Structure 1
Amino acid sequence: MLRPRRRPAQQRSRERYARILSAARDVLVDVGFESFTFDEVAKRASVPIGTLYQFFANKYVMICELDRQDAAGVVAEINRFAERVPALEWPDFLSEFIDHIADLWRNDPSRRSVWLAVQSTPATRATAAHTEQELLDGISEVLRPLAPGSDADVRGFISGLLIHTTYSLLNYSVDRPGDAGMRELHYELTVQEVKRMLISYLMTVAEKAGG
C-alpha cells in the first residue's frame, strides 16, 4: 500500500503539506502523469525538493494521497445523503449523487487527472482500491433497502459497479474536443444517460430482490 512517510501534525506543517498537494494537482493537470516531477511540484509550492521527500517516497505515493483527498470528499457527500434516507428515495439519491460527482469532474480537472494517474501501475491501482472501500461501504448502506435480502458481498459488488461505471463515463463526458457549446452539450447528455442507465439497472436489481 502506497502511503506518505508521515503526515504533518503542526498547523504550519499542515499548511505546507496542503500547498504541496495543491501544487501537485496543478502540475498533474498541466503536464500529465508521465511528465510529472517533484522538481516542478517543489517549485510551484515554493518549498525545497527535500521537503517533498520528507513526506513522499515518489510520485506514485503523492498521487495516491491526492486520490485519498478526492475520495474523502465523496465519502462526506455520501454520508450527507445517508442522513436523508429513507426520506430521499434511492432514484433521487442516485440522481443527486451523480450530479454532485459530475460537477466535481467538470469544475475540477485535477480529479480526472488523479483518477487516470492511479490506473498507471499495479501498486497505485491496489492502493486506490483500498482507498475507495469506504466509499463503496457508504453506497452499499444507502442502497441496502433495494435488496434487503442480499449479503454484503453482493451489495459491495453493486456499489463497485455503480462507482466505476460513473467514473468511467464521467471521464468520457469531459473528454470531448470542439467548441465550448459542443463540449457542454456532450457533458449534459452523458450525465443524463448515466442517470438513466444506472437507475434502470437498480430498478432491475430491486425487482429481482423483491422476488
Structure 2
Amino acid sequence: MLSSARTVLIEHGFESFTFDEVARLADIPIGTLYQFFANKYVMICELDRQDTEAVIEEVSRFGETVPTLKWPEFLSEFIDHLAKLWREDVSRRAVWLAVQSTPATRATAEDTKARLVTEISKVLRPLVPSSSDAELNFISDLMINATYALLNYAVDHPGSDAEREAHYELTVQEIKRMTISYLMSVAEAAD
C-alpha cells in the first residue's frame, strides 16, 4: 500500500494524489486503505514517519561515533549517506513537500520530527555539554530543516545529466562544509 502511495505521489503530485489511484496501483479495494488511513493526509504523514524513522536509525549509528576527534569525518559520511537516500528515493522529496502543504500535515510532521530532534540532541551533547536541552533542541531542529531543504535542492536541478550531477556533488559538499563549520562554531562558543 505505502509503496504504491509513494509511486502515486511521485507520478501525480500531492494535489492529484487520490486513494482511488493508490488502490488501483496496489491492486486492493479502496476500503482497505480506509481501514488504515482516514484520508490522504494521514497516509502522507505515515510516509513521512517512515522516512523519519530511517533517518533516526542512521543518526543513532552516527551517535555511536561521537565524541571522537574524527567526528567531522563521520558527519561527512553521514551526510553522504543522507544525500544518497534523497537521490535514490525520489519519494523522500515528494513526501517532504507534501507534508509542508497544509497546517495539519505540517503539525503532524513536527510531532514526527520531535523524535529526530531528540536523537540529534543526544549526539550533539558531547560537543556542547554546557548547553541546555532547549538550546540543543533548537540547534538540532535548525540543522534538520536546513539539511532537508538543501538535500531537496541538491536533487532538484534542471539541466543535462552532467549539470545535475555537478549540482548535486557541489551542494552535498557545501552541506558538509556548512554543517561541520556550524557545529565547530557552536562547540567553540560553548567553551
TM range (shorter): over 0.9
- Measure, in 2, the Cα distance between the counterparts of 1:110 and 1:98: 18
Deviation at 1:130, TM superposition (A): 0.6
Q: Is the 8 A contact 2:66 2:126 kept in 1?
A: no
Q: Per-residue CA shift, 1:52-80, capped at 9, x if unaligned?
A: 11111110000000001001101111111
Change (3 A) 1:42 1:65: same
Q: Which residue of 1 aligns with 2:99?
A: 118
- Secondary structure of the equivalent of 1:145? coil
Deviation at 1:88, TM superposition (A): 6.4
Q: Which residue of 2 aligns with 1:36?
A: 17
Given the alignment of the two structures, is residue 69 of structure 1 paired with residue 69 of structure 2, yes or no? no
- Measure, in 2, the Cα distance between the counterparts of 1:88 and 1:134: 26
Calculate percent identity across the aligned residue pairs: 68
TM-score, with structure 1 as normaliser: 0.88
Deviation at 1:86, TM superposition (A): 2.5
Q: Which residue of 1 aligns with 2:187?
A: 206
Given the alignment of the two structures, is residue 27 of structure 1 paired with residue 3 of structure 2, yes or no? no
Alignment of 1:1-211 (within 5 A): 20-87=1-68, 89-210=70-191
- Measure, in 1, the Cα distance between the counterparts of 2:177 and 2:26: 42
- Measure, in 2, the Cα distance between the counterparts of 1:105 and 1:88: 28
Change (3 A) 1:194 1:202: same
Mean CA deviation greater in 92-101 or 107-116: 92-101
Deviation at 1:87, TM superposition (A): 4.0
Return the letter of the residue paired with 2:146: T
Unaligned runs of 5+ in 1: 1-19
Return the letter of the residue paired with 1:71: T
- Measure, in 1, the Cα distance between the counterparts of 2:49 and 2:28: 22
- Measure, in 1, the Cα distance between the counterparts of 2:49 and 2:55: 10
Deviation at 1:94, TM superposition (A): 2.2
Deviation at 1:27, TM superposition (A): 0.3
Unaligned runs of 5+ in 2: none
RMSD, matched Cα:
1.1
- Measure, in 2, the Cα distance between the counterparts of 1:97 and 1:88: 16
Change (3 A) 1:70 1:187: same
Q: Is the 8 A contact 1:90 1:143 kept in 2?
A: no
Q: Is the 8 A contact 1:119 1:125 kept in 2?
A: yes
TM-score, with structure 2 as normaliser: 0.97
- Measure, in 2, the Cα distance between the counterparts of 1:163 and 1:46: 36
